[in-house]
Structure 1
């Protein structure tokens, strides 16, 4: 695991399983070993994937707006999650 805290809204990369290399957002922290993740494509927000922390690589990226909506109990759509992940992972152009 990396130095970044794993919390709701954190972007993580799967290191193991058939989804290895795929970016996800943490949707819930279950306990010290497990979290639930979703990306809106392979794993919808309605049915997140339970993953062990040792199988995930935390990134410095954080989706604050989606975290706030989840904590407030507002509806978050899969398309919002997909577009936020794409936007966060897109390399920034230097000027």
Structure 2
């Protein structure tokens, strides 16, 4: 896996209810688990703890999410949705 685990990294969910959906890493629990949220079904205040084996890391990291987390320790759900939307548009899907 060439992409490293980082706050703000956009991931594709491979397993579970949100399968095939996109989300953003908003927290790192340990070397196996991260917290993800998409700002829609999965809010920032109620992130999903996911095993890294069930995620595909994309090459995209949202600078908005990273900056927001560094400045305030949190990020708005709108920013998460925006980051995912921007990623989808860049991929041209």
Could you tell me the TM-score, scaled by structure 1's length? 0.88
Displacement after TM superposition at 1:14 (Å): 0.5
Instruction: Provide the residue aligned with 1:49 in structure 2.
Output: 48
Contact 2:64/2:83 (CA < 8 Å) preserved in 1?
no
How large is the RMSD of aligned CA atoms in angstroms?
A: 1.5
Kindly tell me the number of residue pairs found equivalent between the two proteins: 92
Q: Deviations over 1:20-64 (max 9, x none)?
A: 101000001110100000000110001100000000000001101
Contact 2:38/2:80 (CA < 8 Å) preserved in 1?
yes
- Structure 1 runs (4+) greater than 4 angstroms displaced: none
Instruction: Provide the residue aligned with 1:69 in structure 2.
Output: 68
Q: Distance in 1 between matches of 2:58 and 2:12?
A: 7
Tell me, yes or no, if structure 1 residue 36 matches structure 2 residue 43. no
Secondary structure of the structure 1 residue equivalent to 2:17: coil
Displacement after TM superposition at 1:65 (Å): 1.7
More helix by share: 2
Gaps of at least 5 residues in structure 2 are none
Instruction: Provide the residue aligned with 1:3 in structure 2.
Output: 2
Could you tell me the TM-score, scaled by structure 2's length? 0.90
Q: Distance in 2 between matches of 1:65 and 1:24?
A: 14
Rg larger in structure:
1
Residues 74, 28 of structure 1: CA spacing in aligned structure 2 closer, same or farther, 3 A cutoff?
closer
